[in-house]
Amino acid sequence: MRKIQMVDLQSQYQRIKPEIDAAWQNIMESCAFINGPAVKQFQSDLEQYLHVKHVIPCGNGTEAIQVALMALDLQPGDEVITTTFTFIATAEVIALLRLTPVLVDVNPDTYNIDIQAVEKAITAKTKAVVPVHLFGQCADMEPLLQLAEKHHLHVVEDACQAIGAQYTFADGATKMAGTMGIMGCTSFFPSKNLGCYGDGGAIFTNDDAMAAKLRGIVNHGMFVRYYHDMVGVNSRLDSLQAAVLDVKLKYLNQYIQSRQKAAAYYDEAFGENPHLIIPAKGKNTTHVFHQYTMRLQQTDRQKLVEYMAQQQIPVMIYYPVPLHMQKAYRDERYRQGDFPVSEQLCNEVISLPMHTELDEEQLQYISSHLLRAVQMFSL
């Protein structure tokens, strides 16, 4: 049996090695490392895949969210609502821009932003909402977009974990994760569903003026060469990464299917176990399973994770601490107990190996050991 990893990038590379190697060789020969044709090609291929007018490549997912928020011309002290159960990057850039992150709880089934909690958190200072499509399925965007419209709020989607997920509106229209708000952001970090071989990210928008602004901001606030109209940043996707991404984009739907197949295996193995709550599928969204994250009930999580590690099965905890309990983000506004669902999730979740290369033998090995561990360490 192949070694079990949370993400198996080596095996994935071996399958597409000739294409990737040739693509890299091309860039090396051309030496067009920055803003070369490979970046333009990937950009337009991704626009087609997402059915979005503009893809603005940038340096990573964190910068994508930062640049998106910079484009909104918010003022220090303006409030931006996001969830307390997410990766830190979402709130980090809000704080870095001297905006005020306002945290809200999540839905206990989908782990995604609770729309009613968003409504309660809106004040006169609220300017934007950043829903996170956590673990690979879309937040409930239709009611969120309606709420945002009513209160004149910008919606910037953090789609770093959900590229390729599709949301269906009540009228039957479907849209891809990251293309529903005024802007959407994604990450091409190697372990993400569409990952490059280094750092990368992108912003999506259907708004022409916003796209022009974003392209200026990622390039030092420069709209005409050497004329700088606003304070920008330097945030670029390089050609080598774009070339990898353009190869992998062709396989993205296939990769998503492999992940969904692995998830279906886990669902089947764990669905009936009273100690395990398998991830719920949101009503109107597909799930691309960036992570397979479930909840343990009355089970010693620490011992379970240790046991799994002894069997050479990595099990991760995404995420152990909600943002409002992180040292850097603690302030007088929040205390333990304020976001009970997120706090409970932080105590209960485990994420199993999830990637495009899991085979039946590995899935069987993981599942049987997990079931054994649950039995041994139930409380």
Ligand X SMILES: *Cc1c(COP(=O)(O)O)cnc(C)c1O
Residue nearer to ligand X on the CB measure, 90 or 362: 90
Residue nearest to ligand X (CB): 61
Cβ 208 to ligand X shortest distance, Å: 26
Residue nearer to ligand X on the CB measure, 102 or 159: 159
Residue nearer to ligand X on the CB measure, 235 or 362: 235
Cβ 190 to ligand X shortest distance, Å: 9
Cβ 171 to ligand X shortest distance, Å: 28
Q: Which one among 57, 101, 201, 216 touches ligand X, defined by CB under 6 A?
A: 201
Q: Which one among 36, 57, 61, 136 touches ligand X, defined by CB under 6 A?
A: 61
3-state secondary structure the chain: CCCCCCCCHHHHHHHHHHHHHHHHHHHHHHCCCECCHHHHHHHHHHHHHHCCCEEEEECCHHHHHHHHHHCCCCCCCCEEEEECCCCCHHHHHHHHCCCEEEEECECCCCCCECHHHHHHHCCCCEEEEECECHHHECCCHHHHHHHHHHCCCEEEEECCCCCCCEEECCCCCEEECCCCCCEEEEECCCCCCCCCCCCCEEEEECCHHHHHHHHHHCECCEEECCEECCCCCECCCEHHHHHHHHHHHHCHHHHHHHHHHHHHHHHHHHCCCCCEECCCCCCCECECCCCEEEEECCECHHHHHHHHHHCCCCCECCCCCCHHHCHHHCCCCCCCCCCHHHHHHHHHEEEECCCCCCCHHHHHHHHHHHHHHHHHCEC
Residue 60 contacts ligand X per CB under 6 A: yes
Residue nearer to ligand X on the CB measure, 191 or 297: 191
Residue 93 contacts ligand X per CB under 6 A: no
CB 75 within 8 A of CB 222: no
Residue nearer to ligand X on the CB measure, 102 or 202: 202
Number of residues that bind ligand X (CB under 6 A): 14
Residue nearer to ligand X on the CB measure, 90 or 356: 90
Residue 90 contacts ligand X per CB under 6 A: yes
Q: Which one among 5, 12, 62, 258 touches ligand X, defined by CB under 6 A?
A: 62
Cβ 345 to ligand X shortest distance, Å: 15
Instruction: Give me the torsion for CA of 15, 19, 21, 23, rounded to 10°.
Output: -150
Residue 160 contacts ligand X per CB under 6 A: yes
Residue 132 contacts ligand X per CB under 6 A: yes
d(CA 317, CA 353): 11
Residue nearer to ligand X on the CB measure, 184 or 201: 201
- Strand-strand pairing, 126-130 and 154-158: parallel
Residue nearer to ligand X on the CB measure, 111 or 189: 189
d(CA 372, CA 222): 59
Residue 351 contacts ligand X per CB under 6 A: no
Number of other residues whose CB lies within 10 A of the CB of residue 290: 27
Cβ 185 to ligand X shortest distance, Å: 7
- Strand-strand pairing, 227-228 and 276-277: unpaired
Residue 89 contacts ligand X per CB under 6 A: yes
Residue nearer to ligand X on the CB measure, 158 or 265: 158
Stretch of residues binding ligand X (CB under 6 A), selected from 46-54, 81-89, 280-288, 299-307:
81-89
Q: In residues, how long is the chain? A: 379
Q: Which one among 87, 204, 307, 377 touches ligand X, defined by CB under 6 A?
A: 87
Cβ 229 to ligand X shortest distance, Å: 26
Q: Which one among 86, 235, 258, 285 touches ligand X, defined by CB under 6 A?
A: 86
Q: Which one among 8, 157, 158, 246 touches ligand X, defined by CB under 6 A?
A: 158
Residue 286 contacts ligand X per CB under 6 A: no
Cβ 132 to ligand X shortest distance, Å: 5
Residues near ligand X, by CB under 6 A: 60-62, 86-87, 89-90, 132, 158, 160-161, 187, 189, 201
